[in-house]
Amino acid sequence: MARWAIAIHGGAGVDPNLPEHRQEEAKRVLARCLQVGVDALRSGAAALDVVEAVVRELESDPFFNSGRGSALTRLGTVEMEASIMDGRGRRCGAVSGVSTVKNPVSLARLVMDKSPHSYLAFDGAEQFARDQGLEVVDNSYFITEDNVGMLKLAKEANSILFDYRIPLAGSETCGAQAASSDNSHGNGMVMNGLPISIYAPETVGCAVVDSSGHTAAATSTGGLMNKMTGRIGDSPLIGSGTYACGACAVSCTGEGEAIIRSTLARDVAAVMEYRGAGLQEAVDYCVKERLDEGFAGLIAVSGTGEVAYGFNCTGMFRGCATEDGFMEVGIWE
């Protein structure tokens, strides 16, 4: 019997000045969703079912940027994307441009299980969801008052705005920050040309190995605030935002364009397979050597029950648990 393990994330790149109550709220959501996965694994659930269930839970909570609470496009609408991968046979499914499907990760699962394809997008993905009987809702279900306010700030700054969770009471400050890319802000770190104080992508993901040694990973996001319609990031791209094989399962978060260029998730597996590296060693190498000037983070589990994470920015919302009783939820180093 293999040892099960699970890791989850809610986004990399966290404002070091994030209010304490927001930090605690994030930890509560992460702990609750992590427990969903732990309970399922203890009952003998398969890795693929667990990653879908956990990401559905994350999609349903408006705190993070996936499902309800997703970032808004320039037009004020939501376009979501998700992917899922089964380490057994490296089967996968992915969707982009989804605007009415309540849980995009479940649609990605159906693309994998019920279609001859690996990836569907926009109208084709929406029609497939209806054909399969998935729950659909009006686009307004995904839109929150906070997001509408932050989209307004982003438009005023003529910028793609990342941290739309900053309280609206600070809108003047937020707007000024969004309009600037001066490295002197905060701790000096800039992500995608913006000060870290307004950056928090909050994509969600889960990586699991079950008691049979099978791995799976899933990632889901609403993308970037004020993004162009039709923009696709790393989250639905197999090998970039999501990957699973016999060696490991990986879910990434951060600057999507940098993750795409580096095929970050697949590279973790490649370093393990071709260099014989352990899981944490492979994660550390890829975060340090493969992102060039980009900022990102990732979570991973190995086929033997290890968990690992890494990020090269100021923090990452994350949690993990293993069969031997270890459980942790954290944000900072």
- Write out the binding residues for substrate: 231-234, 253-256
H or E element: which one contains 19?
Answer: none
**Has 203 been annotated as catalytic?**
yes
Q: Which residues does 110 contact at the CB level (< 8 Å), separation at least 6? A: 93, 128, 129, 132, 134
Tokens linked to 125:
């993905």
To which residue do tokens 């399969």 refer? 132
3-state DSSP call for residue 35? helix
DSSP 8-state class, residue 225: B
DSSP string, 278-296: -HHHHHHHHHHHSSTT--E
**Euclidean distance between CA atoms 22 and 25, whole angstroms:** 5
Count of C-beta atoms within a 10 Å radius of residue 228? 12
**Euclidean distance between CA atoms 193 and 303, whole angstroms:** 37
Q: Among the options 100, 173, 203, 221, which is catalytic?
A: 203
Count of C-beta atoms within a 10 Å radius of residue 303? 20
DSSP 8-state class, residue 61: S
The residues annotated as belonging to the active site are: 203
